[in-house]
Amino acid sequence: MIDFNMQDKVVLITGGSRGLGRAMSLGFAEMGANIAIISRKIDSCKATAKEVEALGVKAFPYAAHVGKWGELDDMVEAVYGEFGQVDVLINNAGMSPQYPSLDEVTEELFDKVIGVNLKGPFRLSANVAKRMQSAGGGSIINISSTASVSASPGSEPYGAAKAGLNAITRSFAYAYGPTVRVNCIMAGPFLTDISKAWDMEAFNARAASVIPLKRGGQPNEIVGAALYLASEAASFTTGAILAVDGGAH
């Protein structure tokens, strides 16, 4: 039997208060993990922390902007001060603001998208992986997107940043092995709070024609993949990019 028990483990999740991050926070908590919930909005972090603690584990809500290295470094110090360890890091925070056309993408927008989706995970992974090495090991999971390998009309900077996240997954797996494993979940379209702004009639029609499972994913459907990559079940898995996308890519 595969054992996904996370008793006494500490899992740090960026973007951990909403959408896929919230689903993973609750999923890992159900397996016994203590959760550091990181997001820009402390009220949202605290709300999810209450849900996590209702499952009988500890939660540590903390507000930080993933695109700012100084805030990330302070956050890591705070998490280690609270728990004394991080066993699993999940780089989940992301952003993909809309823009009217490619020639109207501003430098500010481009830098924000790269900062949150690539620069932040680079710094956070390097900071935490070094500590994991000293402690004997750990697991890092990056949350990428099918936009990294497919045409992404309307979200080109986001797709480029996630392609970079795929690349550093493989490089960090080499740099911090054999004790720290680094893997990536390449997520397809999930029906989170963000999808409330979608034209669902158009999405469902497209999904029925181009996605083998003919639908978008539910947030809880990413949890099994994350638990696998975090657990000893994946002890010989590193540098992998696992598609959880209904076959969309």
The structure tokens listed for 161 are 């940043």
Q: Beta partners for 126?
A: none
State phi, psi for 155 to the nearest 5 degrees.
Answer: -145, 40
The structure tokens listed for 44 are 């949202």
| pLDDT given at position 114 | 97
Catalytic residue, candidates 80, 99, 158, 176: 158
Residue length of the chain:
249
| pLDDT given at position 8 | 93
DSSP H or E run through 169: helix 156-176
Which single residue is written with the structure tokens 């997001």?
A: 39
Tally of CA atoms within 13 A in the half-sphere of 32 that contains its CB? 8
pLDDT beneath 70, residues of the chain: 1-2, 195-198
Active site residue 80: no
Give, in words, the CATH class of 10-244: alpha beta
How much is the pTM?
0.95
| pLDDT given at position 205 | 86
